[in-house]
A = this chain, B = another copy of it.
């Protein structure tokens, strides 16, 4: 059971750092935004998507509105891969796994003849991944366990500072979506607490999410390995064990939200059917609720995918959009700009 679900953990991984400019300096009230007359979502084209987001935030934060939501209940959840940053051609956490296997190979001469490591080392990902979930779990555990949490954090940090995306040549943490950064800031400026709820690794994301998105570690929900507090050495440490603790994907997302947040979200954003359950959980709550899917329709500026089968499919989400009043954001037409580094 555990291993079966772990496929999605990896393939819906997680990642992005150092967008210093987007660390929220302070929160502004909705009225302040209105007063200044400043567009809170400048990278969103005018249209239904932008309008419906602003209308929702406005009505849920206006005192006296029938749809007013108290600040304590303003919970907004965001998937990460494909929602806050790019997840193609592979989820970025998988690039981390590949790079780590290469870096660790000298310490594991046996990997030369053993799949899935052999395939990774020879650049033959097809063969490496042919082993399915079992192979993926092996790769994950070889790179995400057997070290202290501090050691893992440093490894992720160093990787993020050096590794680059095969298509853009940019650091992965530069490939966050400018319109979503604006949305995160806009929600926070209106009293919403913003959480990441991702199938990606919680320890992987926390290293860079605070700088990239302004989301602190305690507002990141994700998949995890078990951790053990070890007091046998000179200094007590937390050791990451080669044992899956939680798979924060699909039906696991409402569970992860319950465990970590303990309140039903009012606003949720995702991009694939892996987010369907948390969107349904959000939208079936009483009172005003908002769900949105980012639809990857822009093959030129980003990637075109989602409708077909395979990774990050968005089928059930599109089918149920009318039923649950979900907004489908068309990346190509709704977003003026994709990445912060775009002109």
Q: Report chain B residues within 8 Å CB of A224.
A: 259
Asked whether, in the complex, the Cβ of B255 is within 8 Å of the Cβ of A228, the reply is: yes
**Chain A contact patch, size range:** 35 or more
In the assembled complex, A155 has its CB within 8 A of some CB on chain B: no
* Distance of A106 from chain B, by nearest CB (Å): 30
| Complex Cα–Cα for A203 and B233 (A) | 35
* Distance of A230 from chain B, by nearest CB (Å): 9
A residues 193-239 in Cβ contact with B at 8 Å: 193, 195, 202-203, 206, 210, 216-220, 224, 227-229, 231, 235-236, 238
In the assembled complex, A109 has its CB within 8 A of some CB on chain B: no
* Distance of A9 from chain B, by nearest CB (Å): 16
Asked whether, in the complex, the Cβ of B238 is within 8 Å of the Cβ of A255, the reply is: yes
In the assembled complex, A66 has its CB within 8 A of some CB on chain B: no
Using CB atoms, name the residue of chain B closest to A262.
B217
Asked whether, in the complex, the Cβ of B218 is within 8 Å of the Cβ of A218, the reply is: yes
In the assembled complex, A284 has its CB within 8 A of some CB on chain B: yes
Asked whether, in the complex, the Cβ of A216 is within 8 Å of the Cβ of B72, the reply is: yes
Asked whether, in the complex, the Cβ of A262 is within 8 Å of the Cβ of B229, the reply is: no
| Complex Cα–Cα for A260 and B262 (A) | 12
Asked whether, in the complex, the Cβ of B236 is within 8 Å of the Cβ of A284, the reply is: yes
Q: Report chain B residues within 8 Å CB of A217.
A: 261-263
Q: Report chain B residues within 8 Å CB of A260.
A: 218, 260
Asked whether, in the complex, the Cβ of B284 is within 8 Å of the Cβ of A206, the reply is: no
| Complex Cα–Cα for A227 and B228 (A) | 22
Asked whether, in the complex, the Cβ of B251 is within 8 Å of the Cβ of A281, the reply is: no
Q: Report chain B residues within 8 Å CB of A236.
A: 254, 277, 280-281, 284
Asked whether, in the complex, the Cβ of B251 is within 8 Å of the Cβ of A218, the reply is: no
4 more contacts with CB within 8 A, not counting A203-B262, A217-B261, A231-B277, are A218-B219, A227-B255, A227-B259, A228-B255
Task: List 19 A-B residue pairs with CB atoms under 8 Å apart, sorted by A's residue number.
Answer: A72-B216, A193-B218, A203-B262, A217-B261, A217-B263, A218-B218, A218-B219, A218-B263, A220-B262, A228-B251, A229-B252, A229-B277, A229-B281, A231-B277, A235-B284, A236-B254, A238-B254, A238-B258, A238-B281
